[in-house]
């Protein structure tokens, strides 16, 4: 009978979570389960095969096998597929010969597990491998319980320390042949037979050789061999040479279990918390933090829930920190944002770190200073005495230990450095935690200096400055407590973001820069100017949030920002900076509904911007005056809009060369949005003037009948319509 198709899901125990959801969360591994099922069907047809399932710790090998076994047992008849599993244990140290295969034979002959055919299997073992009944603890007892005669095993009787090397070789060959004959006979009689060896990286040499021999002769047998192992534990393992041999012969399928993608992690969160629309940044952060490891994610979330950092309310899921992406790395921002590592996860990480040589640990500890990604160029600065060997050592660590992987360097870095990334952020954090406070300060300072030197070389060659490099220099200076340098490079990165229209990122970087400046005890004149520029960008990037009910997210309220911007402008005494902040102040007055004051501030800003030659600023001020002044003086407002359009048309090329494309696009959009209004009001005014010249007694009523429906289109906010009507009436010279 054909086996049942496996369900395309794994169930992961996520630990204690109160009453949020059940204990199991479904995670999809459909591709891997389908491949395993296909191999079972091939075995049923007499085409035996081998599947090697490899991954790092915590990726779900054991859970995948549980799901696989469960799916095969889901058919109507338990005899459709015969399944048995054997386990390799670290404590045995690879010294318990045939350990997993002993488990398998004990399992198949256990009456409690297989009451219908355990005694038949014992009879078969007696015929094909009589010595195994004595060699495998528990098997002889089972045979006697089944009333089978167990004679003194001939091979066991000959096995002695006094045997010469030739005799011992013959005895070893006899035992492995009996294991092979027994398993092949079981496959013939009770197949398809699926044998699963778990944690095969701890396999003893005899078991590895038996696995290899079976793999060579099962082509026409109803036998499927499956082995699971940690890919980073193969160095020095008995399985390593067997794996290489089977791959060369082309007789095995290798299933590599990757970490979950960001999309899969988000699905996991939605199922765990029974919520949709979960913030994508939470999934992105968890994916980077864990490398997509299901075990790490589950344990980490359990810890965050236990500490109240994640709270699953009836209507929403809240996370206790802001998540920000700086230089490609996600990090929580807030008080005490250095989150702990769960103990279970820490033990897995410790186990991996302990496998490394002292020299390898030192390299990776130094690499962790730069971040989840690090450059060989930086390592050479941190460890100059070994610069010639670093690339070779990193390559070996990547291939043998699997704790780092090579990345494609950015185009600007390809000729100078190799780039590596840690398997996940938790592993990087584990290495970084090995360093003391003073070590970190010193190393971050060295990293910042090395990156600054690189930046200067790029500038000397006339190359553009990569923003990521600016961000890394700022971050490492901040961590080295060089706050002046951190602020300066952070502001350069913010200006770069602002020019490209990345206002949210620019705001975050300016917040950090202003905080760095605030930490300085002795602000220099240049610092004051840079501080004022940072505040100006911070205010400008806040504008999209001004017209919502809440002020922008962040550490500073809008009122604080305006006040600080004004103070900075006065301190510096820069007329251009002062004029620009006047413009921002006028916009803020519009937001608070004080239109009269706003018009005065915007007009003063327009004059100041004209005086200092800030063309875009003047156009922007005129646009604001026209945009918001319709309700006060429609004629003046229309004139301002027309003047702004005229200035822009006359100086378009100059403006394009001097200002960010995003800023110009915003001005264009606002002017285009009002061009229809200007044309329509012109047409309405002509109609009203014509009506008034007819000197009809009800001309005002007729004019209002025409204008009011139009006002509902142009001014959807009902509170502005009366003011707009009065302004237009004054413009047309008709009674209000």
pLDDT of residue 222: 92
In a domain, 461, yes or no: no
Domain enclosing residue 48, as ranges = 10-256
Does 83 fall in a domain? yes
Does 279 lie in the same domain as 215? no
Residues 214 and 323 in one domain: no
Q: Give me the percent of the chain exceeding a pLDDT of 90.
A: 15
62 and 119 together in one domain = yes
In a domain, 428, yes or no: no
pLDDT tens, residue by residue, 588-613: 788 777 888 888 888 898 898 888 88
Residues 196 and 339 in one domain: no
Specify whether the CB–CB gap between 513 and 526 falls below 8 A.
Answer: no
pLDDT score of 449 more than 90? yes
Q: Are residues 100 and 237 in the same domain?
A: yes
Residue 161 and residue 57 in one domain: yes
Instruction: Establish if 521 belongs to a structural domain.
Output: no
Arithmetic mean of pLDDT over the chain = 76
Same domain, yes or no: 66 and 209:
yes
Q: Indicate whether 119 and 91 sit together in one domain.
A: yes
Q: Which long-range contacts (CB under 8 A, 24 or more apart) does 74-78 make?
A: 74/4, 74/6, 75/1, 75/2, 75/3, 75/4, 76/1, 77/1, 78/116
| Residue 438: band (very low, low, confident or very high) from pLDDT cuts 50, 70, 90 | very high
* For the chain, percent of residues with pLDDT exceeding 70: 73
Examine the fold and report which residue of 204, 231, 256 is the final residue of a domain before the chain moves on: 256
Confidence class for position 88, pLDDT limits 50, 70, 90: confident
* Distance from C-alpha of 115 to C-alpha of 79, rounded to nearest angstrom: 12
Query: Is the pLDDT score of 361 beyond 60?
Result: yes
77 in a domain, yes or no? yes
Residue 388 pLDDT grade (very low, low, confident, very high; cuts 50, 70, 90)? low
Last residue of a domain, one of 241, 256, 271: 256
> Quick one: 205 and 93 in the same domain?
yes
431 domain-assigned: no
Q: Which of 63-67, 272-276, 564-568, 687-691 has the lowest mean pLDDT?
A: 687-691
Structure token pair of residue 389: 């060997």
Within the chain, how many helices (H) and strands (E) appear?
32, 14
Span 168-180, pLDDT tens digits: 566 778 888 888 8
Distance CA 1, CA 192 (A): 10
Q: How many other CB atoms are found less than 10 A from the CB of residue 184?
A: 20
Q: Are residues 188 and 284 in the same domain?
A: no
Both 307 and 244 in one domain: the answer is no
Cβ pair 34, 8 in contact under 8 A = yes
Segment 413-422 mean pLDDT: 88
3-class secondary structure, 26: strand
Secondary structure (3-state) at 100? helix
How big, in percent rounded to 5, are the helix, strand and coil portions of the chain?
Answer: 65, 10, 30
Q: How many domains does the chain have?
A: 3
pLDDT bucket at 93, cuts 50 / 70 / 90 = low
With 80 as the cut, is the pLDDT of residue 62 above it?
Answer: yes
pLDDT at 426: 84
Lowest average pLDDT, out of 317-326, 373-382, 455-464, goes to 317-326
Identify which of 155, 144, 152 has the alpha carbon closest to the alpha carbon of residue 179: 155
DSSP state, residue 341: P
| pLDDT tens column, 12-30 | 333 333 333 333 334 578 8
CATH number, domain with residue 159:
3.40.50.300
With respect to residue 520, please indicate whether it lies within any of the assigned structural domains. no
Strand spans (E) along 298-380: 310-312, 317-319, 322-326, 329-333, 373-375
Is 236 contained in some domain?
Answer: yes
- Cα–Cα distance for residue pair 186/222, rounded to 1 Å: 9
Same domain, 306 and 247: no
Of 325, 346, 367, which closes a domain? Answer: 346
> Containing H/E element for 255?
strand 253-256
């Amino acid at each position: 009978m054909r086996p049942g198709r496996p369900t395309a899901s794994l169930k992961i125990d996520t630990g204690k979570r109160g009453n949020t959801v059940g204990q199991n969360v479904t995670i999809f591994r459909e591709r891997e389960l389908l491949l395993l099922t296909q191999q079972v069907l091939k075995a049923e047809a007499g085409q035996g095969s081998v599947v090697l399932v490899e991954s790092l710790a915590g990726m779900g090998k054991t859970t995948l096998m549980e799901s696989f076994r469960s799916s095969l047992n889901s058919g109507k008849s338990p005899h459709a597929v015969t399944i048995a599993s054997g386990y390799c244990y670290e404590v045995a140290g690879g010294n318990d010969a045939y350990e997993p295969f002993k488990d398998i034979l004990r399992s198949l002959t256990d009456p409690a597990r297989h009451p219908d055919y355990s005694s038949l299997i014992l009879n078969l073992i007696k015929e094909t491998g009589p010595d195994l009944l004595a060699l495998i603890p528990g098997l002889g007892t089972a045979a006697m319980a089944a009333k089978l005669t167990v004679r003194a095993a001939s091979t066991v009787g000959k096995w002695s320390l006094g045997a010469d090397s030739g005799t011992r070789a013959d005895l070893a060959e006899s035992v492995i042949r009996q294991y092979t004959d027994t398993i092949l006979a079981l496959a013939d009689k009770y197949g398809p037979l699926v044998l699963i060896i778990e944690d095969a990286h701890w396999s003893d040499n005899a078991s590895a050789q038996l696995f290899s021999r079976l793999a060579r002769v099962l082509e026409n047998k109803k036998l499927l061999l499956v082995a699971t192992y940690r890919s980073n534990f193969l160095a020095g393992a008995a399985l390593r040479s067997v794996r290489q041999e089977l791959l060369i012969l082309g007789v095995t399928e290798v299933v590599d279990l990757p970490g979950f993608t960001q999309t899969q992690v988000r699905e996991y969160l939605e199922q765990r918390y029974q919520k949709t629309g979960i913030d994508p940044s939470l999934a992105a952060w968890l994916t980077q933090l864990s490398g997509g490891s299901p075990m790490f994610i589950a344990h980490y979330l359990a810890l965050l829930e236990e500490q109240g950092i994640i709270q699953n309310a009836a209507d929403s899921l809240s996370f206790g920190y802001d998540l920000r992406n700086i230089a490609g790395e996600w990090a929580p921002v807030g008080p005490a944002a250095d989150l702990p590592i769960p103990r279970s996860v820490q033990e897995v990480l410790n186990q991996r770190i302990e496998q490394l040589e002292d020299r390898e640990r030192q390299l990776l500890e130094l690499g962790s200073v730069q971040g989840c990604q690090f450059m060989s160029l930086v390592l050479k600065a941190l460890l100059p005495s070994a610069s010639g060997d670093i690339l070779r050592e990193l390559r070996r660590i990547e291939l043998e230990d699997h704790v780092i992987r090579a990345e494609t360097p950015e185009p600007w870095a390809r000729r100078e450095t190799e780039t590596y990334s840690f398997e996940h952020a938790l592993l990087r954090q584990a290495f970084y935690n090995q360093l003391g406070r003073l070590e970190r300060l010193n190393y971050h300072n060295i990293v910042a200096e090395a990156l600054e030197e690189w930046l200067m070389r790029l500038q000397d060659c006339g190359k553009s400055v990569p923003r990521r490099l600016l961000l890394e220099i700022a971050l490492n200076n901040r961590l080295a407590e060089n706050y002046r340098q951190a602020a300066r490079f952070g502001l350069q990165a913010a200006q770069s973001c602002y020019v490209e229209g990345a206002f949210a990122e620019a705001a975050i970087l300016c917040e950090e820069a202003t905080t760095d400046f605030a930490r300085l005890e002795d602000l220099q004149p240049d610092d004051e100017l840079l501080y004022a520029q940072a505040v100006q960008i911070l205010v400008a990037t806040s504008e999209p949030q001004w017209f919502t009910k809440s002020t922008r997210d962040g550490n500073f309220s809008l009122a604080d920002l305006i006040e600080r911007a004004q103070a900075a402008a006065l301190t510096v005494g820069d007329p251009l900076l002062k004029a620009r902040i006047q413009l921002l102040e006028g916009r803020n007055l519009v937001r608070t509904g004080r239109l009269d004051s706003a018009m005065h501030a915007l007009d003063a800003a327009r004059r100041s911007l004209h005086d200092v030659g800030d063309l875009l600023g003047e156009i922007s001020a005129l646009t604001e005056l026209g945009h918001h002044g319709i309700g006060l003086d429609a004629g003046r407002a229309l004139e301002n809009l027309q003047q702004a359009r005229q200035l822009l048309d006359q100086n378009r090329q100059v403006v394009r060369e001097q200002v960010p494309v995003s800023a110009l696009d915003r001005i264009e959009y606002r002017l285009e949005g009002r061009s229809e209004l200007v044309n329509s009001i012109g047409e309405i005014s002509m109609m009203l003037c014509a009506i008034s010249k007819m000197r009809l007694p009800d001309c005002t009523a007729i004019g209002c009948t025409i204008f009011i429906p139009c006002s509902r289109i142009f001014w959807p906010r009902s509170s502005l319509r009366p003011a707009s009507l009065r302004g237009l009436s004054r413009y047309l010279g008709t009674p209000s």
